[in-house]
Structure 1
Amino acid sequence: MFEGTEDGSPEEIELRIGAVLTNLPIIRSLAASIAMRADFDLDSIADLRLAVDEACSTLITQGAPDAALTCAFRVSVDEIRFVVTVPSTSDAKPSSDSFGWRVLTTLTDHTATWVDGPDDPNSQADTHLVHIELAKRRTEGLPG
């Protein structure tokens, strides 16, 4: 069973990768590996893998040209929290009315999205950071 770091704090893993659909298998594999290492059950691993794929796919379509996704996993004893961020020229957050959003909310225990203003207030560029956060909790009553 996953126990976090030596001092008991959650483990954090971050991946920065080009915001292109061909990189999705790498992100999905990392999500599944993290969940397996944390001893999540097979259904939870599959749910997390699909949710991470959907979140990243959604942000890839909103990314600025040549943008990179920043994927951060925070692993604790009872949950895996995932935040994916992409720079975008749009200040629109992903639609909560879309089919993809319904998939995310069905597969996870927590889902949120938000947009931060331009990266640098002094910059002429109108770049925003679009975020999706999700969490998958360990299934209660089942081992690992």
Structure 2
Amino acid sequence: MDMNQKLDYSKLTPIELKAIAISYQNMKKDEGEAFNSSFPYMTSAIEVLAEQLFDYPADNIEELKTLHDELLATNKHLLQLAPVPPSLNPEKIVSELTNDEIVDRLLKISLVNSLVETLSYFQNIVLMRISDIENGVLKGVNNGSIN
């Protein structure tokens, strides 16, 4: 493949095409700008599940700690699964990879980035609940006012 040849995305589903497009938009963002998931409906479902843990029973704090560690390990290994470009030189990449390999890597990178970002959110929710339990914070309790 050469640099002047357009990538052929014809084998992808509309969901996969959208995922690659969103991933590309994320790459163009400045640092600190909000990340947009390449798989927004899956992300929303995971976020809803995570938010259910705000009321997780304090007696089960060890389960929360284990869940936190599992999410951390999952993200670590997902990032290791992300395809690494054979070179930082785009001309070398297109000379070494076929069209299908380039498109496949773009899709895998968008999936890994979205999952890692989403699972990091989940991990932060779990960490907040652990912190609340360890600090004795009870939801819905009026702790008085500061005068």
Name whichever structure is richer in helix by fraction. 2
Larger radius of gyration: 2
Name whichever structure is richer in strand by fraction. 1
TM-score range, shorter chain: under 0.3
Higher relative contact order (CA 8 A, sep 6+): 2
When the two structures are superposed, what TM-score results if normalisation uses the length of structure 1? 0.26
